[in-house]
Amino acid sequence: MIIALLYALVGVGLFGLGLYSLIIHAHLLRKILALNIMGSGVFMVLVALAGGEGNMLDPVPAAMVITGIVVAVSATALALALMLKISAITGRAELNDEEGK
Partner 1 sequence: MEALSLLQWLIDILIGVGLLWLAWRVLFSPELFKAIVLFIAFGLLMALAWVRLQAPDVALAEAAIGAGLTGALLLSAWMKLREESTQQFEQKRKRQIFVWLLAIPLLLIIVGLGYAISLLTPYPTGLSTAVAENIDASGVSNPVTAVLLNFRVYDTLLEVAVLFLALLGVWSLEIRESAIGSEPEPVLDVLTRVLTPLLVLVAAYLLWVGAHAPGGAFQAGSVLGAAGVLLILAGWRLPHRLAGLPLRITLVAGLSTFIAVAVLMILGGGRLLEFPSSQASQIILILEATATLSIATILAALFLTSRPSHSEKT
Stretch 7-26 residues interacting with partner 1 (CB under 8 A): 7-10, 12-21, 23-26
**Residue 35 is a binding residue for partner 1 (CB under 8 A):** no
- Site mask for partner 1 (CB under 8 A), range 54-73, x = bound: -xxxxxxxxxxxxx-xxxxx
Handedness of CA 20, 22, 25, 31 (dihedral sign): positive
Rounded Cα distance between 31 and 54, Å, is 38
Q: Which residue type, as a one-letter code, is found at position 99?
A: E
Cβ proximity to partner 1: between 36 and 100 the closer is 36
**Residue 43 is a binding residue for partner 1 (CB under 8 A):** yes
Number of shown-chain residues binding partner 1 (CB under 8 A): 78
CB 28 within 8 A of CB 95: yes
Q: Which residues contact residue 61 at a Cβ distance below 8 angstroms, ignoring those fewer than 6 apart?
A: 46, 47, 49, 50
**Residue 100 is a binding residue for partner 1 (CB under 8 A):** no
Minimal distance, residue 100 CB to partner 1, in Å: 15
